[in-house]
Structure 1
Amino acid sequence: MTAPIVVGVNGRDSNDDAVRWAARQAVVSGRRLRLVAAIWSPEDGDIQLLTDSQATTARMVDSAARLVRQIAPAVGLSAELRIGNAVDVLLEQSRDAWITVIGRENGWTAEHMVTNVAAANLIGQQGSPIAVINAGFGLSRPGSPITVGVDGSPASYAAAEFAADLARILAAPIELLSATPSVDGGSADAHAQHVAAELMLADLAGQLLRRGPLPPIHATVRPASAVAALLERSRRSRLLVLGTRGHSTATAAGPVCQSVVDLADCPVVVVNPAVAEARTPCRGSVVEAGSA
């Protein structure tokens, strides 16, 4: 059976943007959509509070389902309501998903922080790729590229492969983006890194094309920090795709990934280490362009 698109439901404003984005991806990909919500369970086991929590969660899911039907009436739709922590519930449901979609709030209130901490905790776990939809940035930009952050790490290669799959479905061009130190000062080392990055991206583009036909692929090497380069591109991209971390062996999302998810002006898809390890990396030169 084809893996579904999973979308977390929490009733927040950003969640509507995430549901809309997920519904549109379900239409173009021909995949089923699964709405997932966690039911808060009171620590003292109060039955009435649990019943109220179940009713509130069911109303949130019903509202999300109505929104999906407005956008994608023919998409296969199901719902899972589970008692437990939101991150644990979504992680369990993401294990058989093609992609898991979550909303993220733009704000610093306690309510915003709870939602955003849950989103951050889900990234880097061993489930499907995670699409993070910041509030207000759920609309697509037709004709704009899918931009992939590439630093030579296995996770960034896996991100490029997943981006290629998305590009085929969305008929969107791909931009392979690498960041290196500025060459303006004439440093031989910086120049060598820039050239190596160009060769790496050219090799990666060739590897992706050998997997099957693709929309146009463009390779860009930016003399900037990885965060600055990705955020600049987010203002004109359909979405960003990156690995959770670069060459680090840490299991959590790296600083580049965290910063981009927080500040990007478009949806961000994060391919986690489990996906990276499950795929055969494209071969290419390794450029220390910043640890994602």
Structure 2
Amino acid sequence: MLPPVVAGVDGSVQSLAAAEWAAREAALRGRALRLVHAWNWQPRSSEGEGEHAVQRYLGRRILRQAEDRVRAGCPTVRLTDEQAEGPATTALLRAAEQAELLVLGSRGLSGFTGFLVGSVALGVVAKATRPVVLVRAEEQAAGERPPGADGGASALTGHGDVVLGLDLNDPCDEVIEFAFEAARLRHARLRVVHAWQTPSAISLGPGDVGLVDEVLQGQEWQGFMSAVLQTWRDKYPGTTALETVAEGRAATTLVRAASAASLLVVGHRLTDRPTFPRIGPVTHAAVHRVTCPVAVVPHG
């Protein structure tokens, strides 16, 4: 059986938006959707069993609410649900191991667009071995997006561009493939973005070539990107991949490029440091500042 798309739900408006987005994604991928509600039960007295029953009842109500939202927006999706006991981060990581991808909600900040990523979402993104997508409450259904200008929603499919933040110093197949597949499923364009900065004299080591003209540096990065993407263009001949190579800070460039996107895809290198969840500065900026759903794809 194909692994399902999994959405974590906790009754918040953000998790309901995540469940709806996950249902549409499951339909696109021909997968089932599994809703997971995690809660931590720690009996401390003889009344522990009663508290356990209450938690299960509340969990069932939360799952039913999410199911109703999913059925209203995507009635044909195959749907299952489960309640998972234990710390939320641990339970969601366990669910993600058996998933095609995991979808979580992110809380929006009042008076400012972007994400406020809580400790659970941050811990899951930092440690998950499967892709994790963060969705905010204001996310619209793809078909509801109005046709826009360049980079906006397609008048034909309703989907804006998929944007891939590509680190050409470490191009990773898992991240690139996820982005191409997401664009193919949506019949959307893929916009591949890489940012570079001119090295300073201090950063040049012995034997390094002297500072190169900035125009030539940009051309070199452009040629490298074209070479990296050629294999994937051959594999996905029906997907238009646009290349953007810009001088500047990677986080700033990526946030700007994703302003009208339907999905942003970034990579996250897994490390052997389980004591403290870390996701890297560019990915951190993306999940906090980008307004569209953000897919974080782990790689070795």
Q: Which residue of 1 aligns with 2:157?
A: none
Unpaired runs of at least 5, structure 2: 146-152, 155-159, 200-210
- Deviation for aligned residue 1:125: 1.7
Q: Which residue of 2 aligns with 1:61?
A: 63
Contact 1:18/1:138, CA 8 A, preserved across alignment: no
TM-score of the two chains, using structure 1 as the length reference: 0.83
Contact 2:116/2:288, CA 8 A, preserved across alignment: no
Percentage of matched positions with identical amino acids: 26
Counterpart selection for 1:150 from 148, 166, 172:
166
Contact 2:7/2:36, CA 8 A, preserved across alignment: yes
Counterpart selection for 1:262 from 270, 282, 288:
288
Query: The residue matched to 1:123 in structure 2 has which SS?
Result: helix
- Deviation for aligned residue 1:180: 1.1
Counterpart selection for 2:130 from 125, 128, 131:
128
One-letter identity of the residue aligned with 1:257: T
- Deviation for aligned residue 1:205: 2.0
Counterpart selection for 2:297 from 258, 271, 288:
271
Cα distance between partner residues in 1 of 2:295 and 2:101:
9
1:239-288 CA-partner distances (Å, limit 9, x unpaired): 10010149x88673111111110110111000012xxx4xxxxxxxxxxx
Matches within 5 A, 1:207-286: 207-245=231-269, 252-273=278-299, 277=300
Contact 2:233/2:239, CA 8 A, preserved across alignment: no
Counterpart selection for 1:159 from 151, 158, 175:
175
1:105-143 CA-partner distances (Å, limit 9, x unpaired): 0138xxxx9972111110132431000112313543432
Query: The residue matched to 1:244 in structure 2 has which SS?
Result: strand
Cα distance between partner residues in 1 of 2:243 and 2:14:
32
Matches within 5 A, 1:1-292: 1-42=1-42, 44=44, 46-107=48-109, 116-140=118-142, 141=145, 142-143=153-154, 144-152=160-168, 154=170, 156-181=172-197, 188=212, 190-245=214-269, 252-273=278-299, 277=300
Query: The residue matched to 1:272 in structure 2 has which SS?
Result: strand
Unpaired runs of at least 5, structure 1: 278-292
Query: The residue matched to 2:127 in structure 1 has which SS?
Result: coil
Query: Relative to 1, partners in 2 of residues 1:195 and 1:119: Cα closer, same or farther, differing over 3 Å?
Result: same
Query: The residue matched to 1:199 in structure 2 has which SS?
Result: helix
Q: Which residue of 1 aligns with 2:207?
A: none
Contact 1:138/1:267, CA 8 A, preserved across alignment: no
CA RMSD of aligned residues (A): 2.5
Cα distance between partner residues in 1 of 2:116 and 2:279:
18
Cα distance between partner residues in 2 of 1:81 and 1:189:
58
Query: The residue matched to 2:64 in structure 1 has which SS?
Result: helix
Contact 1:20/1:138, CA 8 A, preserved across alignment: no
- Deviation for aligned residue 1:43: 5.1
Query: Relative to 1, partners in 2 of residues 1:41 and 1:153: Cα closer, same or farther, differing over 3 Å?
Result: farther
Size of the alignment, in residue pairs?
Answer: 266
